[in-house]
A and B are shown apart, each in its own frame.
Chain A
Amino acid sequence: MAHTPESDALSAAILASVVQIRPDGAGGAGVVLERAGKTVIVTNAHVARARPGTPILVVTRSGAVVEARVERTDPFRDLAILVPPVDGDQARLRPAAEPGDISRLKPGHLVLAVGHPFGLANAISMGIVHSVGPIRGAFQLTEGRGQQPWIQADIRLAPGNSGGPLCDAEGRLIGINTMIVNGLGLAVPIPDVIQFLQGSTAPRHRGIGEPSGAI
């Protein structure tokens, strides 16, 4: 990509809200978001790997080390919320820009991911939207997770990208990078992340042909 003032501004905007979680290795990334005027950190449950109340070390973009606590996790949707304990720490975390509109996202749209692949801090990769929706094809995810909507991206991700942001060409947050399946990057779409942030769990989407409960 050509070096332009625009690309500089874009990377700066995306990078500002990305944190490193468990920087001692085997960690991942997280995104700073705002909830009811307070900053929280969203990441994957498999990156947090801890019960509510557990303290976890987080490194901010500016290099400050913050001790956040796990507030809630949703292993099914693989999401976790971490809360920085004091106001002083909160001030050092910069929330991500406005969430993007994923209803307008089509195959071919550019996407950018930020994370710490193999421990390489704050690396940006670029790709495109492959498809948006449940997983189809020759592989299955367990326990109905494949039936959940995913932003599927043709983008190079690696361990360490987990929990980090997937953004559109305007730098707006559209998903949380969660896993790599058949080489495709799978991100939890931002509407499900926001619902998780506000409610108790992320929404479960019933897939076609999945048996319903007693009716």
Chain B
Amino acid sequence: MSAPAFSLLDLSNQLALAVETAAGGIVAVHGRPQLASTGIHWRDGLIVTTNGTVRRDEDLSVTLPSGNRVAAALQGRDPSTDLAVLTIEPGLFPTVKLGDPGALRPGHLVLALGRLDESGARAAFGTLSRTGGAWRAWGRGEIDRLVQSDLTLYPGFGGGPLVDAAGQVHGVNSGRLSRPFTTTIPVETVNRIIDHLASRGYVRRGYLGAGMQSVLLQPQLRERLKLDREGGLLLSAIQGGSPAAVAGLLVGDVIIAIDRRPVTAPDDVLKILSGDTAGRSLSLDLVRGGKLETVDVLIGERPRGSHS
């Protein structure tokens, strides 16, 4: 019989080493009553955690791997991706080593880490279950990649890292986005949100102020208007005073393109608005009363805290 390719003891020691490596950059975040949550020392002086676990804006502190507790300040939050960024004094302890979530495959062994207090890091073990392309959280924020695992997020593990067998961090585990699988906000998304928050304290998203739904256009109408596309977005509500109302959009208008890009689902509009569109004028092609019209809309900034 040939010798085993690996021994269980080697794997055991490798996993413990991975925990120890990553735990050197993991803190407990004290930002809610009773139970702390977990935070990641992402860049020097910058702690990332989940927005849902930071319940207050002031009187924040973190417990470092050394057990020392230091003051922290809220730099900003993005409810739409469930991320919050805190600042602490730089140079106190190492940052984590970031991995490439694009290299993760279903079946890879993964760990979740948590820190609740000065009693040391805690760990959970599992398997990467699913990966995929960009998706939208129900908070409407764009998440660059789907990363889901069968890890158990124990109380206080929210905001903690997804760690691979080499101790590299691939993202932030979000309890709020995790049902039924544990969902991780990948490195790319965290970096993007950190950059937004560093410049403004929040993430700016475009705002139209209209409710809409997908509809199919009548074949006779399409023929008459010489439209090659089958559907558009029927406006079903216009918020008073919103950019849509100011531009004169009406309930019953069917948007077929924004800046010449065809739109057939509300998600298409959200994608366009999630770029840096606030303050810009976009031209909307629409069908109104059986005729084609183009209306320019000065895109506003979505009210903060709004999820829609």
Contacts and interface: CB of A to CB of B under 8 A. Distances in A.
Contact of B123 (A5, A129, A183): A129
Nearest to B7: A6
B8 A5 contact: no
A207 to B, nearest CB: 12
B12 A182 contact: no
A110 B119 contact: no
B124 interface: yes
Nearest to B117: A136
Interface stretch (A38-46, A52-60, A65-73, A101-109): A101-109
A108 B15 contact: yes
B34 A138 contact: yes
A74 interface: no
A200 interface: no
Interface string A115-130: 0000000000001111
A158 interface: no
Interface in A114-157: 127-131, 133-134, 136-139, 152, 154
Nearest to A156: B152
Residue of A134, A152, A169 with highest tally of chain B CB at under 10 A: A169
Interface residues of A, number: 31
Interface residues of B, number: 33
B269 interface: no
A183 B154 contact: yes
Contacts of A137: 35, 116, 154-156
B115 to A, nearest CB: 10
Given A138-B155, A182-B154, A184-B154, A106 B8 contact: no
Contacts of B111: 108, 128
B1 A5 contact: yes
A106 B119 CA distance: 12
A168 B11 CA distance: 12
Nearest to B14: A108
Nearest to A183: B152
B8 A169 contact: yes
Would you list the 9 A-B pairs with minimal beta carbon distance, nearest first? A108-B19, A169-B12, A4-B4, A108-B16, A110-B12, A107-B123, A128-B125, A108-B15, A154-B124
Interface of B: 1, 4-9, 11-13, 15-20, 23, 34-35, 111, 116-117, 119-125, 152, 154-156
Given A108-B123, A128-B123, A129-B16, 5 more contacts: A7-B4, A108-B17, A130-B124, A183-B152, A183-B154
